[in-house]
Amino acid sequence: MRAVLICSLLLFICPIVRAESFLGLEPLEPLSSVKQRFSAGALTVEPAAWLKPNQHFAKMPHPDGGGTVYLLFEHDDEQRKKKLADLEKSVANLPSQAQGRSTKLLIRQYREKLSKSIDERLSLIRVRWLPDNPVRVSELITSYGKPDERREGNAVYGPVFIWSKGLNAHLSDDKKLALMIEYWFTEDDLAVYFLRRDSAAR
C-alpha cells in the first residue's frame, strides 16, 4: 500500500515521460494477449543468438502492410521461484494464524503467476519495426521533436537518434532516413502499469 502511495505521489510530482505507443501495444503485455489481438498465426518465432534463456523473440507482418514488426518478450520465473521459496521457508514452521496476511497474499500471487501458461508469463519489453519503406527523419522530428541523444555510427552499427520518451531510430549513413525504429517502455510507463495493476488487485 505504501509503495502504491509513493508511486502515485511521484506520478503527480514528476513530469511524466511516456513511451510512444506503437500498434497499441502496452508495457509488459503478455504474449497471449498479443496473439489474441493480432492472431497467433501472424506471429512466428525468430531465432536470435543473443537471446537470454528467459526471453522469446517473435516477428509478425505489420497489420497495415508496412514491413515487419519484431517483439521481444521476457519472463521472470526464476526470480519468482526464488522469492516464493524464501517466503514459504519463512512461514514453514509457523501456524496459519501467525502468518502475516501480506505474506500469504504474496505466496498466493507467486503461485498463481507461475501456474499460468508460458504465453501468459512472457511480457513484452521491446518492439522493433522494420518498415518496407524507410521513414524520413524529418517526419520523426515533426512528430516527436528533436532527438535527446545522437549516436554516431561505427564499423558495426549506423547512426542512431534516441528520444527519451521511448523511441530509437536506426538511420542511414546520411541520417536522412530511419531504416528501423525501436520502441521501448520508459520508467514512467512501468510505474503507471504497476500502479494500475496494484489498484486493480485491491
Kindly report, residue by residue over 83-105, the tens digit of the pLDDT: 888 888 887 777 776 667 778 88
Q: For all residues of the chain together, what is the average pLDDT?
A: 82
- Residue 19 pLDDT class (50, 70, 90 cuts): very low
Handedness of CA 102, 106, 112, 115 (dihedral sign): negative
pLDDT at residue 33 is higher than 60: yes
70 and 42, same structural domain? yes
127 and 64, same structural domain? yes
91 and 181, same structural domain? no
What pTM value is reported for the model? 0.75
99 and 14, same structural domain? no
Domain boundary residue, one of 68, 98, 120: 120
- Split into its structural domains, the chain has a count of 2
139 and 64, same structural domain? yes
pLDDT at residue 15 is higher than 50: no
CB 186 within 8 A of CB 125: no
The domain of 105 spans: 77-120
> Treating both helix axes as pointing N-terminal to C-terminal, what angle do 187-201 and 2-13 enclose, rounded to 10 degrees?
140
48 and 140, same structural domain? yes
pLDDT in tens, 119-177: 999 999 999 999 999 999 999 999 999 999 999 988 778 999 999 989 999 999 999 99
59 and 27, same structural domain? yes
